[in-house]
Structure 1
Amino acid sequence: MLQQLLETGLRQTMNSLVKPVLNPAVPVSLQRRIVSQAYRSSIPPRGARFQKAAVGGVPATRTTYGNNPYGAVLYLHGGGYIIGSSATHRGMTGHLAKTSGCSVVTPDYRLAPENPFPAALDDAEACWNGLLEEGYKPEQIAVAGDSAGGGLSIALAMRLRDKGLPLPASLTVFSPWVDLTQEQLYAPECEPVLQARWTSKAARLYAGKEPLTNPLISPIFGDLSGLPPLLIQVGSQEILLNDAERLADAANRDNVQTRLEVFNSLWHVFQVHSGQLDRATAAMETAGEHIKRHLAG
């Protein structure tokens, strides 16, 4: 009963405080400031440690919990490629460090509109290379991300594959945004976080002069064959439900080991409430187990 009340309260909070800010009428600079404040309600687990770093020349935050013996997670934060940072996602990366047993590195990749595609992807690749330079082997690194960062995670794996380079041990994506054309958005009865007109504007700002169907912008239009094991989590009350389901279908088509989890009545990137909402905490535990399972010892 308490959890049901908490879900209701969090849903109302997101709908009244976050959704109005994610609006194309609100200046991007103001969106960034307000969202950075809103994410303070996402609380990392006690014992999580955060350290600023430069990984591959990219500013980043390294999150650790305990001894982190398993390896590293390259975590790509969400925010429509226009907002968000390693600071806004401390709650999520703290819980992921705890459940995965890994050091989690979150780059502050360059954002649009100041830095459109391929800046974010270039920074993600540079950070990946930086982890290799630190001594991690590819099979000791997982890649994960939420929303835009989920799409960016898939795009990074595709770019590495196309270059003939070793791939990460696994991919984990929360509410992935993989089709920036917006042509097959889901229409839930209740969407407490995202507005389609905001994601549409963000897509255009990120793509710049590139077509939205570029597979490195919208991975749903690409070939996923050869990618590592993939875990997809999504809520049923979000406009990106179709993105997640289509990604799972495409990955299965291309013979990628894939697991799709749809959480009834939950919203966009609900894992941000790990440590508060039981179902969010359980989802993050599943993500951590997926990562540990596929990392080389």
Structure 2
Amino acid sequence: MPTAQPSDPLSVIYSQWDQEFAAHPEMSLGLMRWVFEDWQRVTSEPSNVRYRESTEGGVPGIWVLPDDADRSRVLLELHGGGFALGSSNSHRKLAGHLAKKTGVTCFVADFRLAPEHPFPAQIDDAVSVIDALNEQGVATKNIIPVGDSAGASIAISSVLKLREGGRELPEQVVTMSPWLDMENTGETIETNADTDFLITREGLQGNIDRYLCGGADPRDPLVNPLYADFTGFPRLYICASDTESLYADSTRLAAQAEAHGAEVTLSIVHGQQHVFPMQAGNLAAADQAIAEIADWCR
């Protein structure tokens, strides 16, 4: 259990979740999904942004439409939640802040969730959205996959999947607090346990079991990008906190990508929670992170 006291909106909500999960160890996955919809509570509503429900390539989601946005470039937001939780509703406000600051539109995809739909359904859905955007005239190079936590794995793996098919690739990929290690070996899960209010090795393993229940190999590069060859990979942005339990995934990803010649920007802050940019509009550190990502994308 963390020894620090909750001091920001995200640590407060993570602490509340932890208390509920401890009090109800047999909580159903359906109820957990309902709880995780509360994620958006820490994000302020961005001004001058409209939302429209849509389906792209058979994948439902929400279009995020800032006023005067450049519609030739699209952020493809792939939400976190361990491949089994989260939704376009939990992440639409985060996407709104990022799209507005970047000056482009964004589609927040409601990809299929595990365990009903294990690997590779989530990656296939991301590629299907990219195909649909291509059909609408948006070139792949102008699509920026953005993923937080497990969504970062989907963002990276969807690009690897495109490369497998000899397809055009996006020029940029953005990740926030990426979770990639499906072997569940990260050392900072223990060393940062006192400062992370959400992540535990047991909780991660539960989501791994849901995601890989179809029998996929946890060392398959599409399952675990820490085993991927990043030769020719797009520019990669990694945002994380050195006090979160999954910090090692960020540093290992940066090292792996750089070893294969990829251009990597590793932005590390101190003392923040997992996916701290979710607090956009309510925390200066989150607003700064959004601004830095937007500047990098431009």
Q: TM-score, length-normalised on structure 2?
A: 0.92
Q: Which runs of 4+ in 1 moved over 3 A?
A: 19-25
1:39, CA displacement in angstroms?
2.2
CA distance, structure 1, for counterparts of residue 181 and residue 187 of structure 2? 9
Question: Which position in structure 1 is the counterpart of 2:18?
Answer: 19
Alignment-mate amino acid for residue 202 of structure 2: R
Question: Which position in structure 1 is the counterpart of 2:3?
Answer: none
Contact kept? 1:223, 1:254, Cα under 8 Å = yes
Three-state SS of the structure 1 residue aligned to 2:123 is: helix
Three-state SS of the structure 1 residue aligned to 2:222 is: coil
Question: Which position in structure 2 is the counterpart of 1:263?
Answer: 269
CA distance, structure 1, for counterparts of residue 294 and residue 21 of structure 2? 29
Question: Which position in structure 2 is the counterpart of 1:53?
Answer: 54
1:169, CA displacement in angstroms?
1.7
Q: Which moved more, 1:194-203 or 1:76-85?
A: 194-203
Mapped pair 1:67 → 2:68: yes
Compared CA separation, residues 162 and 108, structure 1 to 2 (3 A): same
Q: TM-score, length-normalised on structure 1?
A: 0.92
Identity level (%): 29
CA distance, structure 1, for counterparts of residue 11 and residue 124 of structure 2? 37
CA distance, structure 1, for counterparts of residue 158 and residue 8 of structure 2? 36
1:1-297 → structure 2 map (5 Å cutoff): 8-10=7-9, 12-20=11-19, 25-69=26-70, 71-186=73-188, 187-188=191-192, 189-208=194-213, 209-292=215-298
Instruction: Extract unaligned runs of 5+ from structure 1.
Output: 1-6, 293-297
Superimposed CA distance per residue, residues 239-279 of structure 1 (whole angstroms, 9 cap, x where no aligned partner): 11000000000011010000101110011000000111011
Contact kept? 1:212, 1:218, Cα under 8 Å = yes
Contact kept? 2:92, 2:108, Cα under 8 Å = no
1:290, CA displacement in angstroms?
1.6
CA distance, structure 1, for counterparts of residue 284 and residue 117 of structure 2? 37
CA distance, structure 1, for counterparts of residue 103 and residue 143 of structure 2? 12
1:9, CA displacement in angstroms?
3.6
Contact kept? 1:185, 1:243, Cα under 8 Å = no
Contact kept? 2:199, 2:245, Cα under 8 Å = yes
Alignment-mate amino acid for residue 59 of structure 1: P
CA distance, structure 2, for counterparts of residue 243 and residue 233 of structure 1? 11
CA distance, structure 1, for counterparts of residue 277 and residue 201 of structure 2? 21
Contact kept? 1:150, 1:173, Cα under 8 Å = yes
CA distance, structure 1, for counterparts of residue 234 and residue 115 of structure 2? 31
- The alignment covers a number of residue pairs equal to 287
> C-alpha root-mean-square deviation of aligned residues, in Å?
1.7
CA distance, structure 1, for counterparts of residue 98 and residue 239 of structure 2? 14
Contact kept? 1:18, 1:38, Cα under 8 Å = no
CA distance, structure 1, for counterparts of residue 20 and residue 165 of structure 2? 39
Contact kept? 1:236, 1:267, Cα under 8 Å = no
Three-state SS of the structure 2 residue aligned to 1:160 is: helix
